[in-house]
Structure formats: C-alpha cells, structure tokens
Amino acid sequence: MAEATANGAAAVAAGGDRKAAFLQIYVQLKEDLLRDPAFDYTDESREWIEKMLDYNVPGGKLNRGISVIDSYKLLKQGNQLTDTEFFLGGVLGWCIEWLQAYFLVLDDIMDNSVTRRGQPCWFRVPKVGLIATNDGILMRNHIPRMLKKYFKGKPYYVDLLDLFNEVEFQTASGQLLDLITTHEGEQNLSKYNITVYNRIVQYKTAYYSFYLPVACALLLAGKNLGNFLEVKDILIQMGTYFQIQDDYLDCFGHPDVIGKIGTDIQDFKCSWLVVQALGLANESQLKILSDNYGKTDPACVEKVKRLYKDLNLEKLFAEYERTSYGKLISSIEAQPGKEVQHVLKSFLEKIYKRQK
C-alpha cells in the first residue's frame, strides 16, 4: 500500500500539484495509524482519531512539511526525486505537520484562543473540550510510530529520533518561557525587552519551523548535521524574522486573511510590537500601555492599537523587514555550497513580505 501511495504521490507531483501529492501521503499515514497493531482500536476510538486528525493536521498552509520535499530536491542539485525519495520526504514533512498540530492544539488551550485556521479551536468543538489535551499527546506519540515504520533500519534513523526529540524539547521550553513571562504573577511590562523576546522566539518557533525541515532534508540526503551549524544559525535568524512578521500580522493583519483572530494584546504577549512600543513611548504613552495591555475589553485593545499607529510601528516593521532581508541574503550567499544556498533562499522567498 505504501509503495502504491509513493508511486501515486510522485506521479501527482510530477504533474505539478505538490500539495495534492503531499496530501496523498497524509491519507496513507492516517490509515497506518488507525491500524497500528500496538493498540486494539474500537470503532468509536478509530472514528474519533480520524476526525481529530482531519480537523487539526492537514488544515494549514503545509509549508513546513512540503519544504522537506523541496529542500531534499534542491540538495540533490534539482534532480527529480524517485518515488520512494518523494514519499520518505513526505513522511518526514508530515511528521513536522503532526508536531505543529500537537503544539497548536495545546497552545490554543493554554491561550484560551477562539479560532485557529479559520475555524473554532479543537477544544472549543462540541463534545471535545479538554479531551483535546489527550489528543495533543496522541499526536505527539504518532510521530515516533511513523518514524519507526518507515525509517527503522536506515543509517540516519537514530539521528532522526534525536532531531525530533531535541526540537520538541526546545519548542516546549520556549513555550514555557513565553507562558511564565506572560502569565506568572502580576502583569509586568518591565519584564519585556528584545533579549527576552528573541530567546522566546528562537526556542518556541524557529527550531521547529525553520531548522527542522531543512535538517530532515539534510539527513535524507546523507549529510552530517554537525557540518551545517552556520546553516542552522541562519535558519534560526529566519525563524525570528518569521515570528516578528507573525506578531505584526496578529495586530495589523485581517482575520479573514491570516485565518485567526489576533489576541496578543489581550493575552499580554511578549510580542515584537509591545517591545518596540516600550522603547519608543513617552511617559503618557507608557501609561496607556500599562493601563490597557493585557485587557480583554475591546476598547482597551483599540487604545493599544491606536498607540502602535501613533508610534509608527507599521513603518518600523517595514524597515525591519527590508534590513533583515538584506542581512539574510548576505549570510546565505556566504555559504560554500550552492545547493544549500538554494535551500535557504527558497525558505526566505516563501516568507518575505507575506500577508498570512
């Protein structure tokens, strides 16, 4: 069955529809998990898992997952992947999408969020509630099941397990930094500065969103990750840029476009915007921030947004985006391998001046 899926997915991809080909692999992996011999599923539990996976895993842009396949192809100097190579790249891509889904389901509960990807958060779906917590744990446990089925016996199998375990640990630790900085004790804006912000972003977002897909592709291509530490640093910088875009869009993006209602102001998030505002505001403006940041009242949220506009944070972000792009391009072009340069540039082009 997996061989047939590999052939079918690669054929669809050859026709130009990478996303459709990638989604074919999702169907195969879901079927594998629903028939995992390690657990004796009831009809009801199998139906729940299928509904839960369909709701949470394939609904995003899938950029992280598809980028494993794209990066693998570029590392092969643009040569067409074989059916098996395409399929294995897709499996690792879906492992990242599973990791993302698991993080988001639990993150939405912790943040008490309302919508995700244009629909109610999973825990807000009728009859789900806090069962979503266990669903997140299940999705996390699906990843090693998939890795074992398709990569056990390969020379890089242990490296893959170590990679996913380490990146998950880094991401969960970044989430902890975010939560205790945001929620511990009384709300205190004096804790927020660019050093704190960068540390949270690096660990919470950059490792799994940017480094992990490329690291997977490097392992598939038979590379030693220890030889690509500068590449790792560039990807972490790119991840920081990506999160700053996210913070900007949370406030200034349209919910219909970004797929969620931004709540960073209400949640007292240590966002790039509030860190910049704290550095630019005068005494009266700092009082407006202190009085209104972290409040759920729409009038308070609007006062913060108006202050951001008064401080010209939209213009500041545009300047940050321009200079960051230039620095990243310079760092990328300093890398010795053209294939690696192409991988890094492909990532940067996907996110530069994005609107969602």
Q: What is the pLDDT of residues 299-315, one digit of tens each?
A: 999 999 999 999 999 99
The domain 186-355 having CATH identifier 1.10.600.10: the answer here is: yes
Is pLDDT above 70 for 4?
Answer: no
Residue, of 185 and 162, whose pLDDT is higher: 162
Q: Is the pLDDT of residue 337 over 80?
A: yes
pLDDT of residue 331: 96
Q: Kindly report the backbone phi and psi dihedral angles of residue 63, in degrees, each rounded to the nearest multiple of 5, phi listed first.
A: -60, -40
**How confident is residue 186, by pLDDT bands cut at 50, 70 and 90?**
low
pLDDT at 12: 59
DSSP strand E in the chain: where? 115-116, 119-120
Task: Tell which wins on pLDDT, 355 or 301.
Answer: 301
Reported as a pLDDT band with limits 50, 70 and 90, residue 112 is confident
pLDDT of the residue at 95: 98
More confident residue, 350 or 321: 321
Give the homologous superfamily in CATH for domain 1-152. Answer: Farnesyl Diphosphate Synthase (1.10.600.10)
What pLDDT score was predicted for residue 259? 67
Name the nearest CA neighbour of 181 among 243, 173, 280.
173
Examine domains 1-152 and 186-355 and report if their fold is the same. yes
Instruction: Map out the domains of the chain as residue ranges.
Output: 1-152, 186-355
d(CA 103, CA 115): 15
Q: CA–CA distance from 80 to each of 26, 101, 220, 329 (Å)?
A: 21, 29, 14, 26
Please give the mean pLDDT across all residues of the chain. Answer: 92
Average pLDDT, integer, range 158-181: 95
Is the Cα dihedral 57, 58, 64, 65 positive or negative?
Answer: positive
Terminal CA-to-CA distance of the chain, rounded, Å? 36
Secondary structure of the chain in the HEC alphabet?
Answer: CHHHHHHHHHHHHHCCCHHHHHHHHHHHHHHHHHCCCCCCCCHHHHHHHHHHHHHHCCCCCCHHHHHHHHHHHHHCCCCCCCHHHHHHHHHHHHHHHHHHHHHHHHHHHHHCCCEECCEECHHHCCCCCCHHHHHHHHHHHHHHHHHHHHHCCCCCHHHHHHHHHHHHHHHHHHHHHHHHHHHCCCCCHHHCCHHHHHHHHHHHHHHHHHHHHHHHHHHHCCCCHHHCHHHHHHHHHHHHHHHHHHHHHHHHCCHHHHCCCCCCCCCCCCCHHHHHHHHHCCHHHHHHHHHHCCCCCHHHHHHHHHHHHHCCHHHHHHHHHHHHHHHHHHHHHCCCCHHHHHHHHHHHHHHCCCCC
Which tokens hold the place of 106? Answer: 């639990």
Q: Which residues pair with 119 in a beta bridge?
A: 116
Q: What Cα–Cα distance (Å) separates residue 208 from each residue in 17, 76, 102?
A: 25, 23, 12
Cα 216 to the center of its chain, rounded Å? 15
Whether residue 105 is predicted with pLDDT greater than 60 in this model: the reply is: yes
Residue 290, C-beta contacts closer than 8 angstroms, at least 6 positions apart: 189
- Write down the pLDDT at residue 61: 87
Question: What local confidence, expressed as pLDDT, does residue 255 receive?
Answer: 73
pLDDT value, residue 79? 77
Q: For 73-87, what is the mean pLDDT?
A: 90
Q: In this structure, are residues 216 and 161 in contact, taking their beta carbons and an 8 Å threshold?
A: no
What integer is the mean pLDDT of 152-157?
Answer: 97
- Please state, as a whole number, how many other Cβ atoms lie within 10 Å of the Cβ of residue 349: 10
Whether pLDDT at 163 is above 90: yes
| Token pair belonging to 161 | 């397990």
Q: Do the Cβ atoms of 88 and 69 come closer than 8 Å?
A: no
User: Cα(277)–Cα(264) distance, rounded to whole angstroms?
Assistant: 14
- pLDDT for position 355: 63
